[in-house]
Amino acid sequence: MGFFSRKKNPKNSLSTSKNFFWGGSTSGTFVNENTAMQTAAVYACVRVISEAIASLPLHVYRYEDTGSKLLPGHSLYNILHNAPNPEMTSFVFRETLMSHLLLWGNAYAQIIRDGGGRVLALYPLLPNKTDVWRGPDGQIYYTYWRNTDESRPNEKSGGVTLSKDDVLHIPGLSFDGLVGYSPIALTKNAVGMAIATEDYGASFFANNANPGGILEHPGTLKNPDQIRSAWEMLYKGGNKAHRIAVLEEGLKFHPISVPPEEAQFLETRKFQLDEIARIFRIPPHMVGDLEKSSFSNIEQQSLEFVKYTLDPWVVRWEQTMNQSLLLPSEKASVYIKFNLDGLLRGDYATRMNGYAIGRQNGWLSANDIRRLENMNEITPEEGGDLYLVNGNMVKMADAGAAYTKQSSENKGGSGT
């Protein structure tokens, strides 16, 4: 059947409490979600996307005949927009879940409801301590494995099983549509190579940027390990550089010169930065690589980041929240939505030019524009809600009628 054979339980060894192949990589480094975050490129990519999702305005709306209406009085509005639980702000909650989603491929949060099914609070659950399984009744269940410090007083540690209605589960890329696969597990060789190059650089400079050497003795040594240890104790490390070596009994030191450029150390580190940015679909300039960025294309890259990187994650969040948090009676008329307009506005001159076109063609009022720019509105008495159109623009039929009328008037005038 193969490693990915179909099983009864929707467990995923790549993203739940067990790591894929126990974190081993071909580079020889141990890779899991925690060690990956010690790599600067992975940390930067996770931080960029998590903070971007956490900073987006998140609102609750209702469909109406004239459009969508914001519902600040809805019970979910305060939970999603301000504080999902007494211990976290909305920013911290979404940043935490998004980082889980990027590292483990799944984000889980326990849903606390009242007797009527309305959401009272949301608490994050660690993905590496959460298992997903299907019960005999065919329903999906979640088991969260608590530590002793997470248990209530006089309770033992162990698993707590929650039903599907009690968990907000946002899966990432998945083969079965139920549990997402960990990006770190699937790309462990690329991440492992980045960790290996960082370890090599650290050890290289810990050895005073000297790759090592050979101690030559004219005779046969009975204790080579003892001489090697004594030499390293005296001369290894940046704080012991430039000491004067004293060699006895005919010992000679031959340094081995292997510059990092010859081992393509810098090129490898640069390539791994691009490789990890590619995994998370991050423009390189957002993680500090400005080699291919300029004033002419960096704005376009930023807009592409919103369109191709953030927007798919936003859709995952919105559809899962609409499915899991709204009451069945609300799903036809109420929806939860992020606002991406602020990230897609472009520079000031481009926005002003767009507003001018909308204003002159009658589909934007002064107050529409001022609301988009977070400015105070103009009162209706002062014309803030008026929609204007250029007076020189008329319909083709009206233009022909006006020309015919003008011609008739001219002929009639010449005959009198």
Domain borders along the chain are: 8-208+258-346, 212-256, 347-416
Give percent above pLDDT 90 in the chain. Answer: 33
What is the amino acid identity at position 279? I
- 60, two tokens: 């609750």
Q: Cα–Cα distances in Å, from 127 out to 15, 33, 134, 219? A: 7, 11, 17, 60
**The predicted structure's pLDDT at residue 394:** 65
Dump pLDDT digits (tens) for 366-403: 888 887 777 888 888 888 888 888 777 666 566 566 55
Comparing 227 with 181, the larger pLDDT belongs to: 181
Listed range (38-42, 119-123, 127-131, 234-238) with the worst mean pLDDT? 234-238
Asked if 205 and 239 count as a contact pair (C-beta separation under 8 A), the reply is: no
Comparing 181 with 13, the larger pLDDT belongs to: 181
Burial class (CB in 10 A: 0-12, 13-18, 19+), 143: middle
Q: Which residues sit opposite 213 in a β-bridge?
A: 255
Q: Does residue 147 have a pLDDT over 80?
A: no
Which residues neighbour 354 within 8 Å (Cβ) at sequence distance 6 or greater?
346
Q: Does residue 301 have a pLDDT over 70?
A: yes
Asked if 227 and 221 count as a contact pair (C-beta separation under 8 A), the reply is: yes
**The predicted structure's pLDDT at residue 207:** 58
**The predicted structure's pLDDT at residue 238:** 47
| 120: confidence class by pLDDT, cuts 50, 70, 90 | very high
Asked if 106 and 179 count as a contact pair (C-beta separation under 8 A), the reply is: yes
